[in-house]
Amino acid sequence: MKILGIETSCDETAAAIVENGSKLLSNISASSAPIHTKTGGIIPEIAAREQTKSIIPVIQKAIFDAAVDDRRTVEADFVTIKWARENIDAIAVTVGQGLIGSLLVGVEVAKTLAWVWDKPIVPVVHTLAHVYPNWLSGPPFPEFPTVVLTVSGGHTNIFLMEGHHSFKLIGETRDDTAGEAFDKIARFIGLSYPGGPAIQKLAQGGDPKSVSLPRPMIASKDFDFSFSGLKTAVVRQAGVKSYKKKDLAASTQAAIIEVLETKTLRAVEKYKAKSLLLAGGVAANQMLRSQLKEKSPVPTYVPPVELCTDNGAFVASYAFYNYFTIPRNKIFAQADTYTALGKYAKNIYRSS
């Protein structure tokens, strides 16, 4: 089964074609991040406009790349459309959560294509789709039950997955996400957006023990997080004494990662997980990747960095393993997580 996955929840315009959930036939994306770097963060209206400009060329190129055998013979546009009509079995699209103006672009284009080509449409919840690079880089595939740490700009969640279709949310952030903490502190230090990679780079030469920072909620028995106080702590420390930027960066990175890692490994132990998965944009962080792998008592999956950040491939892969279609006129963009989870994802529940 070949699925076209479309992702436009934030600043990436992405499309991919994936066969049977794990074979990548194409994976294309265009990012408006360089524009947001100049403004120091995302301006939703600008992100949505860029989505509109990029969506058709990105989808076209994804189909063109997947149709590799046919395209040599006939003229490109014609082949693209003919191949898509004949070969794509379903269209999957991120319906939420995310920036509403950006989401609308992907959802409405997906709906239009589904109508014109008469294909089923699969609604996809972004935070769950983020888990699926772990199936795109196999075999081997993770064994269930598995604990998943999803860390990005939009979410910081720990899921217990007992199988596909079964996501138990056992922990989440109560305020800022880990990605937001990286981004906000980076901005304070004077680094550009996105802050995570910038902090990682600067931290290389810094001393992670130089600035004393809290480890929020590290000792709490639940699996929730709280990162909003960390930025205040960095600002306060920087006001008391002047630190080198690289030391602030290294200490910030160490604080965020220690909390993520401690709680995730505790969840692995409590739920007797057979594997551990890392997902989301922050999963690109080298320290998080290597430390989790080193300390985890079970097989630990850390997908390639290029699949961790937003892309169409994880949307298509999620849709294959969690296949569920609804009438084309019943699909809408949903900005907030809980409406998206409740409306479009079955068998997701918050543990008591």
For residue 310, state whether it binds Zn ion (rule: CB under 5 A).
yes
Residue 227, binding choice from Zn ion, ligand KG4, none, Cβ under 5 to 8 Å by partner class: none
Query: Could you tell me which stretch among 112-120, 149-157, 198-206, 223-231 binds Zn ion (CB under 5 A)?
Result: 149-157
Contacts of 203 (CB under 8 A, 6+ apart): 246, 249, 250, 252, 253, 287
Site for ligand KG4 in 290-309 (CB under 6 A): 309
Minimum Å gap between C-beta 254 and ligand KG4 is 12
C-alpha to C-alpha distance for 254 and 262, rounded to whole angstroms: 12
Site for ligand KG4 in 148-207 (CB under 6 A): 152-154, 179, 182-183, 194-197, 200
Pick between residue 196 and residue 206 the one whose CB is nearest to ligand KG4: 196
Site for Zn ion in 14-73 (CB under 5 A): none
* Single-letter code of the amino acid located at 121: I
C-alpha to C-alpha distance for 265 and 179, rounded to whole angstroms: 20
C-alpha to C-alpha distance for 71 and 52, rounded to whole angstroms: 26
Site string for Zn ion, 168-197 (x = CB under 5 A): ------------------------------
Cα angle vertex 178, ends 332, 189, to 5°? 120
For residue 285, state whether it binds ligand KG4 (rule: CB under 6 A).
yes
Task: Please report the DSSP string for 164-208 in residue order.
Answer: TTEEEEEEEBSSS-HHHHHHHHHHHHTPPSSHHHHHHHHHTTS-T
C-alpha to C-alpha distance for 290 and 116, rounded to whole angstroms: 46
For residue 91, state whether it binds ligand KG4 (rule: CB under 6 A).
no
- Tell me the CA distances in angstroms from 64 to 25, 27, 70, 319, 340, one per residue in order: 10, 11, 9, 21, 31
For residue 152, state whether it binds Zn ion (rule: CB under 5 A).
yes
115 close to 80: Cβ distance less than 8 angstroms: no
For residue 261, state whether it binds ligand KG4 (rule: CB under 6 A).
no
Pick between residue 123 and residue 194 the one whose CB is nearest to ligand KG4: 194
Pick between residue 21 and residue 194 the one whose CB is nearest to ligand KG4: 194
Pick between residue 123 and residue 154 the one whose CB is nearest to ligand KG4: 154
C-alpha to C-alpha distance for 327 and 11, rounded to whole angstroms: 27
For residue 312, state whether it binds ligand KG4 (rule: CB under 6 A).
no
Pick between residue 63 and residue 279 the one whose CB is nearest to ligand KG4: 279
C-alpha to C-alpha distance for 194 and 168, rounded to whole angstroms: 29
Pick between residue 92 and residue 254 the one whose CB is nearest to Zn ion: 92
Residues that bind ligand KG4 (CB under 6 A): 10, 152-154, 179, 182-183, 194-197, 200, 280-282, 284-285, 309-310
